[in-house]
Amino acid sequence: MGTVDPRRRFNPTERAALYLAADGKCIDCGTDLAGGFHADHQEPHSRGGSTDVINGQALCPTCNLRKGAFVSNLRLWQESAMNKFYAVNPRDFLVAATPGAGKTRFALTLAKRLLTEGAVQRIAVVVPTDALRQQWADAAGQAGISLMPVGDFADYAKPGYQGCVATYAQVARGKGADMLRHATRNATFAILDEIHHAGDNRSWGDGLKTAVEHAIYRLALTGTPWRADPTSPIPFVNYDNNGTVQVDYGYEYGEAVADGVCRRIEFHAYDGEARWIDCGVVETAELGANLGEEDVSAALDVVYHPEREWMPVLLRKASEALDEVRREIPDAAGLIVAERQYHARAYAALLKSITGRDPVVVVSDDPEAKAAIDRFRDSRDPWIIAVKMVSEGVDIPRLAVGVYATKTRTPLFFRQVVGRFVRVRPDEEFNARLFIPAVPTLMNHAREIEQELRHQLEADRVQEERARAEAGESANQGTLDFREPLSASEARFDRAILGGQEAGAVKVEAAQAECRKLGIPTQFAMNLLPLLDRMQEATSAGVTAAAGNPRIEEPRHRRERVLRGEIDTIVGKVSYRTGKEKREINAELLRRGFPSRNKASVEQLEQIRNELARWLGM
């Protein structure tokens, strides 16, 4: 078997080329390709097949899944992390993996292996929330491990179970910590999920240290690397000289997208004008301007108000985006993260007027919120609105469109929201969309995520907790008496961000028009931008030459790359229309005296392209 190409997923330009090469139809069955079509390797990636259009083909999900190619029990990053764990054989091992990458599956697979090998006799899992306690117990059962979600002191070492799942709060102090410590007298593998929560207060960290101090192995998991907080030290992790946590194995969002483990997400930023009265003075501000902290908060208060024009327009745009996705994926869903309960209920009324259906509303102080989320996860309802319910425990893989309508602007919270939309399912492929205010802080967070920068919190844990506390206090208050919102303009589309590339409204509209002309779903508009940019460059160069101005020659290597792409596309069309395999077409070119493409000059590539075009009757 050849060397495996480290890039597993076709990029947007390659996907568009494969779609066009197939004339928008599945190569196998000939049905029209929908927005969730699969860009597939002809020679499987696991067997050394390259991620290149020459080895690619466009298939409908049904035909691709029917192939039944062998899939490893673990993803590549999970296998790599497993190998490093065994190579180092550490007592403490910290894995930082982006939300949706499969941290739970990795941990339970490792736990099962250690149990089978006899290296440990028990498993102890510690999680931040009650919801995750049940989820981990369920997932462990599917992995063949019987874990008891702790509801009583006797559950820590209950007979008939191979271990337990408890929360950080349960083992924070007193008898809970003592019971888990006693249960780990037998050889124990401790899994500490989202361990940054152990720094929520000092007692949680101290209790955790007592509870699992004697575990043979301790695996810490997080999707959010953090900085040291001397007031709430987190046990069993190491820090560098700058106070940043040291990760033993990291798997970031950018890698996960490239591997097809996580879904790509487009950030659609909307600007607008807000007007309010502050202490008798009329204030006016644009969301995208560089404002002070108080002015940003005031402007967001105005535009988030359900009776101003900005939010209803944004909800209509988001609803249209979700409707587009649901035409291809009928159970796709949307999430609105609201600032206050009042907003959530008002947004629900607005959405009902737009869609004709009542959305699900969940708030943190509702005892039925968890059950409502569970029902929504398994339903086909289009929208859910949440207040203080976006956390590591909210897992709804069908989420496709989001609206960020909260004033919380910390990197940690923003990434938690993003993490709700990146999970993939095997029978679909599309870009998720998150609608955000064009506030510079949020725009910067989006750029950092899209540019695959390692997450660094801009404030230490004390600042993070202060921000959360302030948000919690404001969530229960009305507008301050001395600040009166006046008006907000309609939400104006400002730009879209995808893969580090930004495009304004004019370019996005042009890309959507090109999609409609080619018969491609408009949700691929951002994916077509690189192709349109090259077309525009070529057109501009031609116009300049026709005008008698000196023509700037395109670099030869760029011309060669464009020609290879054009040839690959035409070969795909010839293959589809003649029923011949691509290798037969390439062999015919060799018989006619053309050199192989990897050895051809630019001039020879042009001759090959022209010959293929003649075959196609172009």
Beta carbons of 143 and 116 less than 8 angstroms apart: no
Spatial CA neighbour of 264 closest among 32, 391, 452: 452
Residue 383 has pLDDT above 80, yes or no: yes
pLDDT at residue number 50: 77
Q: What residue ranges in 364-431 does DSSP mark as E strands?
A: 383-387, 399-405
Q: How many domains does the chain have?
A: 4
Q: Give the pairing of strands 399-405 and 333-338.
A: parallel
Spatial CA neighbour of 431 closest among 314, 320, 325: 325
The Cα-based distances of 209 to 257, 327, 570 in angstroms read 35, 51, 63
List phi, psi (to 5°) of 386: -125, 145
Tokens of 11: 């990029």
Residue 440: inside a domain, yes or no?
yes
Q: What residue ranges in 287-398 does DSSP mark as E strands?
A: 333-338, 360-363, 383-387
Same domain, 97 and 232: yes
In terms of residue numbers, what domain contains 426? 264-499
Residue pLDDT, tens place only, 463-480:
444 444 554 544 333 333
Same domain, 303 and 417: yes
DSSP string over 435-455:
EEE--HHHHHHHHHHHTTPPP
Burial class (CB in 10 A: 0-12, 13-18, 19+), 452: middle
Residue 615: inside a domain, yes or no?
no
Which domain CATH number covers 176? 3.40.50.10810
Helix (H) or strand (E) holding 598: none
Residue 69 has pLDDT above 70, yes or no: no
- Mean residue pLDDT across the chain: 78
Residue pLDDT, tens place only, 574-618:
877 777 888 888 888 888 999 887 778 888 888 998 888 888 764
Same domain, 106 and 167: yes
Measure the CA–CA gap between 246 and 262, rounded to whole angstroms. Answer: 24
Residue 596: inside a domain, yes or no?
no
Buried b (16+ CB within 10 A) or exposed e, 154-168: ebbbeeebbbbbbbb
Same domain, 193 and 206: yes
Same domain, 218 and 177: yes
User: 519: phi > 0 → left, psi -120 to 50 → alpha, else beta; which?
Assistant: left
Which residues have C-beta within 8 Å of that of residue 191, sequence separation ≥ 6? 107, 111, 123, 124, 125, 126, 219, 221
Residue pLDDT, tens place only, 430-489:
789 999 998 988 888 888 776 653 333 333 334 444 444 554 544 333 333 345 555 566
Displacement of CA 199 from its chain's centroid (Å): 25
Reduce the DSSP state of residue 592 to 3 states and report it.
coil
Same domain, 425 and 519: no
Beta carbons of 53 and 566 less than 8 angstroms apart: no
pLDDT at residue number 170: 92
Reduce the DSSP state of residue 335 to 3 states and report it.
strand
Same domain, 268 and 248: no
Beta carbons of 19 and 520 less than 8 angstroms apart: yes
**Where does a domain end: 71, 98, 116?**
71
Beta carbons of 95 and 85 less than 8 angstroms apart: no
How would residue 352 be classed by pLDDT, with cut points 50, 70 and 90? very high
Same domain, 197 and 222: yes
**Where does a domain end: 216, 231, 255?**
255
Residue 345: inside a domain, yes or no?
yes
List phi, psi (to 5°) of 474: -70, -25
Residue 243: inside a domain, yes or no?
yes
The Cα-based distances of 97 to 106, 107, 252, 253 in angstroms read 10, 12, 6, 8
Residue 107 has pLDDT above 90, yes or no: yes
Which domain CATH number covers 357? 3.40.50.300
Same domain, 218 and 149: yes
Same domain, 393 and 435: yes
Can you tell me the mean pLDDT for 325-336? Answer: 91
Residue 584: inside a domain, yes or no?
no
Q: Give the pairing of strands 483-488 and 399-405.
A: unpaired
Residue 227 has pLDDT above 70, yes or no: no
Residue 379: inside a domain, yes or no?
yes
Lowest mean pLDDT among 40-44, 109-113, 527-531: 527-531
Same domain, 98 and 195: yes
Same domain, 452 and 346: yes
What is the identity of the amino acid at 247? V
Which domain CATH number covers 66? 3.40.1800.10
Residue 618: inside a domain, yes or no?
no
